[in-house]
Structure 1
């Protein structure tokens, strides 16, 4: 093996892998199937797989399932994208102590070099080759379960090489990535329903009737069974508790630690998925105590995450609240605005947004739900984005078109300093609009701590 002193870093390797294909995203299964065959099919040597697709809520539902499983002492692998601060976050490996951790630098470099050597310069996207690397790492580390999040879409996503998952989950579907998945909600739903498999149960979150019809048609076509929110299970808040009902069983649970009314649906879907999974695989059956602990201890960064300490909250001062959310499409705008409204009902404070968005996102659709809710919006660029973001000037103009006061700022620190200079008093500040911006914010927090 090459000496660790002479081996390239993961950043260098990832940069090299980016050059193997002219496009960042080019949905296809052929290239990754070719590479996996050369690697000896690591995708066929995995623990039971839960495959998760959808527009919003994938990460939260993955986080809940991980938390439930770890509370029960299960060893859990997790695959998510994109990362927030470091690529390593995408590949989370089960540890012998029962706690999963992001892959370490040496292990990441090792699997990247191995897939690079086997690929031998052939055409493949970075996501496809790094997904193959993740499968290699997962196949070589013991675990009880792999939570596998789709990168984009589902039908042609590199993760869809898994032909026999233990369970599939489809989270709420809305308009996003239309340039890649199709211009209508039905086309997008058909792409995401592509993860459904013959004989495999699919747990379906709340969907519009139009989307649900597409999912049900796809399930009939492939022979997949469905467990559907509102038909086969339900979840709701009652007297400060989360109630999940499935058939004759009713679970009275604590509210989830993740903030927002939309998390009731996400948590309920995760609970239903855990129950179905336990019926299919007895070794993964969870008791109610593990689910309770998991709901209380779940963590998922940049999803209505309160930043209560560190350099960025310090800019605003002790009276201000600082929140972070990576939501970036109109449906996310709706649920974030709803969450802010709920916070305002409990503790009224003037609300300010710091917003940066990628250029292909529907900025007007995302911002419109905040009209009448926020005092002002400060728009910022997104450093290090791998695609062109909206300029802060254009984004500010879009916010003004949506009927809100907006000013462009040079960066996040400038925006927070501007808010801090406003008249003293309690303030509620939310940084939002992009996972890439959220990652930049978390990096600023880490660099100065």
Structure 2
């Protein structure tokens, strides 16, 4: 899929020629190039030091093209877990991670939401907070942000270019760093350069060998709910997966954990004993007076009465309570002191795209990145409480998921199913493979190889009482979400 084309380039160039002075030799050099990417690189070079507000959008458009092209080419390398490359890279970069106060968030479900609650509350108290998450949902640069601002594409491309150049100079192309490793290093450099008060890092995959697991010291390690996910990569049992998740725990660490199933929790306790880490587990009995609504939740936790969240779903109550417990542990370390007013406001302002997110009222459209058994169960539970005339579900799943169980659970809903392929070539299931599984549980199935075709069909002929759901994979919903709200989309 092309991000920008020759026509877009000509538009950028004409805007610059009409409004800003570039030497004729520069313009001629750009126009002589036959390669579109080279044209953008040359144009970027000549605009680099042109610091004018009026040209910011054009510069960002140019840098977005280059950033996403670099990302797309780099990602062809695929996933390669391990910390050897990452440690080598960070040494070359003067170990930026050593300058940060890090909150490291791992687990299976709830990592992003818990991180979002923490960032919002800390930000509300006047702190400068870096947040690193994946995968992208809003835009390709949304995984690195400080408070409300994503890293600019210009800064992002600068950091990627620097990282790539340093690695090639020292190690060449053998055992080349993955894109996720470069993206993680980019966040570390950016947060260090911007002097953030806290840096929250969400684990990408697993924990033990994830690129984020390179910190020598952290202020807190957080492990959210653990369930079965990434079978064959992390393990085939809950205990094996929990062991990988617990790999982020360090010696003398401060650990806050969600009350996961006993088999998983026992592994976390064992690792904490071995590492002499202080473990605090969220007590579900401390959460009371839960009131759930399709647009908000209200609950009480400890000294906080009638807390209101805009993030919906039963599990968001527990994610929020886990974040509050994290704040208590940070306060015990003398790292912060936050007023109850800022805590309540921070919680109320928290949002996280792609998690039970209503993106349209007419028709009602809900998107949710549920992609494993636990999160699909949560989604089904939420939908069963809604009132609607007809339910339509557009979904796709990856082949390393418990897809049979996922389809079995979601087929308990009286719904029409629109199956499509997740835009992740090496891990996707074909629509025929998905249909073969889902057909065991329901007959109301339509298939579309292209997600956009599926979206176009599912949006036709809906009454206000219909509910449309997009789910099954963050990679899928990120592709479709921005089309629904008419914003810049994530490019895969």
TM-score bucket (shorter structure): 0.7 to 0.9
Whether the 8 Å contact between 2:371 and 2:474 is mirrored in structure 1 is: yes
Match of 1:435 in 2: 474
432, 439, 462: which one aligns with 1:400: 439
Structure-2 change in CA distance of 1:227 and 1:2 (3 Å): farther
Match of 1:118 in 2: 166
**Aligned-pair CA distance for 1:3:** 7.3
* Residue number in structure 2 paired with 1:331: 374
Asked whether 1:200 is paired with 2:248, we answer no
Shift in CA distance, 128/368, structure 1 to aligned 2, threshold 3 Å? same
For 1:307, what is the secondary structure of its paired residue? Answer: strand
1:244 pairs with 2:301: yes
Instruction: Quote how far apart the aligned CAs of 1:199 are.
Output: 2.0
Paired residue for 2:152?
104
- The count of residues paired between Structure 1 and Structure 2 equals 421
State which of 356, 361, 365 in structure 1 corresponds to 2:396.
356
Task: Give 5+ residue unaligned stretches, structure 1.
Answer: 94-98, 310-317
Superposition map of 1:204-353 within 5 A:
204-230=257-283, 234-238=286-290, 241-245=298-302, 250-282=303-335, 284-308=336-360, 318=362, 320-342=363-385, 344=386, 347-353=387-393
Contact 2:225 2:260 in 1 (8 A): yes
Q: Residue by residue, what CA displacement relative to the aligned partner does 1:362-416 show, whole Å, maximum 9, x if unpaired? A: 2222222223323221111234x35342122322232221345222135445445
Preserved CA contact (<8 Å) 2:359 2:485: no
Distance 1:209 1:304 in 2: 27
**Equivalent-residue separation in structure 1 for 2:83 and 2:487 (angstroms):** 42
Distance in 2 (alpha carbons) for counterparts of 1:13 and 1:425: 42
Seen in structure 2, the aligned counterparts of structure 1 residues 2 and 413 have a Cα distance that, compared at 3 Å, is closer
CA distance in 2, matches of 1:417, 1:110: 37
TM-score, normalising length from structure 2? 0.80
Instruction: Provide the secondary structure at the position in 1 that maps to 2:217.
Output: coil
Q: Of 96, 108, 115, which aligns to 1:42?
A: 96
Tell me, yes or no, if the aligned pair for 1:236 and 1:264 is still in contact at 8 Å: no
Q: Secondary structure at the match of 1:360?
A: coil
1:63 and 1:149 map into 2 onto residues whose CA distance is 10
CA contact (8 A) 1:196 1:202 kept: yes
Tell me, what secondary structure is at the counterpart of 1:180?
Answer: coil
Summarize deviations over 1:192-248 as a string: whole Å, max 9, x none: 0011122221111120010010000000000111110228x7324446731112xxx
Change (3 A) 1:27 1:3: same
Against the structure 1 CA distance between its residues 89 and 426, is the aligned structure 2 distance closer, same or farther, given a 3 Å change threshold?
same
CA RMSD between the two structures: 2.4
Q: Between Structure 1 and Structure 2, whose CA radius of gyration is higher?
A: 2
1:365 alignment partner, one of 400, 405, 411: 405
Aligned counterparts of 1:118 and 1:292: Cα–Cα separation in 2: 44
SS of 2:103's partner is: strand
Distance in 2 between residues matched to 1:56 and 1:413, nearest whole Å: 27
Q: Deviations over 1:243-268 (max 9, x none)?
A: 112xxxx2114231111011111111
3-state DSSP of counterpart to 1:431: strand
Separation of aligned partners in 1, 2:460 and 2:72:
41
- Contact 1:181–1:188 under 8 Å retained in 2: yes
Q: What TM-score does the superposition give when structure 1 sets the normalisation length?
A: 0.87
**Cα deviation code 1:309-363 (max 9, x no counterpart):** 6xxxxxxxx3x31100111111111111111122x2xx34432211112232222
How far 1:444 moved relative to its partner?
1.7
